[in-house]
């Protein structure tokens, strides 16, 4: 017979854990857990110079689907033998020239990446996203206050090919049931 108990984690998500009965425990040692993926090189695709097309939702949380469009360059360089990356963004759009920087850090104990953005106009760090890659797709999450509302943020790295990829940020006001994309960047490798 299996007995179950529920553990709540900090985000309010329940995890079911079962304890085997003594009859099950006598069947022999449990098989070892699967090897943890060392994700230190998961962002290696991002190194180099890129052309970018960015679409940013003008007014999040209003139901509007009106996006600002920007074009420019993104340059990403390796730091600490790949355990960190520094991304520099320069784009032009309707509001003029815009610059930003993103710092990516790999935590070898947690096997997770953090992604922290810095807007040159504000000169301050944003709340960072944290997550990992699975099956060629990176998903990083945070909880932030945007527009006076507490929301979940999801950053997704996808469609990764040698010369292109996509990064998309979305927010959820309902605990992750639905997501609204508010920042989409399509990148293609810049040719010398």
Taking residue 101's Cβ as centre, other Cβ atoms within 10 Å add up to 14
Q: Is the pLDDT of residue 184 over 60?
A: yes
133-143 confidence digits (pLDDT tens):
999 999 999 99
User: Which of 71, 131, 70, 78 shows the shortest CA–CA distance to 103?
Assistant: 78
82-103 confidence digits (pLDDT tens):
899 999 999 999 989 999 999 9
Q: Is 61 helix (H, G, I), strand (E, B) or coil?
A: coil
Residue 34 has a pLDDT of: 67
Q: Is the pLDDT of residue 57 over 70?
A: yes
The residue with greater pLDDT, 120 or 45, is 45
Region 115-123 average pLDDT? 88
The percent of residues above 70 in pLDDT, for the chain, comes to: 83
Question: Cα dihedral sign for 147, 179, 116, 14?
Answer: positive
Cα distances (angstroms) measured from residue 100 to each of 34, 44, 120, 166, 171? 39, 20, 5, 17, 20
Q: Is the pLDDT of residue 63 over 90?
A: no
Beta strands in the chain (DSSP E): 3-8, 14-19, 48-57, 67-79, 84-93, 96-107, 112-119, 124-125, 129-134, 137-146, 149-161, 164-172, 180-189
The DSSP code for 109 is T
The pLDDT mean for the chain works out to 83
């Amino acid at each position: 017979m299996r007995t179950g108990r529920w553990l709540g984690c900090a985000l309010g998500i329940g995890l079911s854990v079962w304890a085997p009965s003594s009859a099950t425990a006598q069947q022999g040692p449990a098989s070892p857990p699967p090897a943890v993926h060392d994700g230190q090189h998961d962002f290696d695709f991002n190194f180099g110079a890129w052309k970018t097309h960015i679409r940013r939702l003008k007014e999040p949380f209003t139901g509007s689907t009106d996006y600002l469009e920007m074009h420019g360059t993104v340059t990403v360089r390796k730091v600490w033998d790949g355990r960190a990356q520094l991304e520099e963004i320069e784009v032009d759009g309707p509001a003029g020239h815009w610059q930003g920087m993103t710092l990516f850090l790999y935590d070898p104990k947690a096997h997770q990446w953090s992604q922290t953005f810095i807007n040159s106009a504000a000169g301050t760090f944003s709340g960072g996203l944290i997550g990992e890659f699975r099956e060629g797709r990176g998903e990083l999450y945070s909880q932030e206050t945007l527009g006076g509302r507490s929301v979940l943020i999801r950053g997704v790295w996808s469609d990764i090919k040698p010369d292109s990829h996509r990064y998309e940020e979305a927010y959820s006001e309902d605990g992750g049931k639905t997501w609204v994309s508010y920042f989409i960047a399509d990148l293609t490798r810049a040719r010398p």
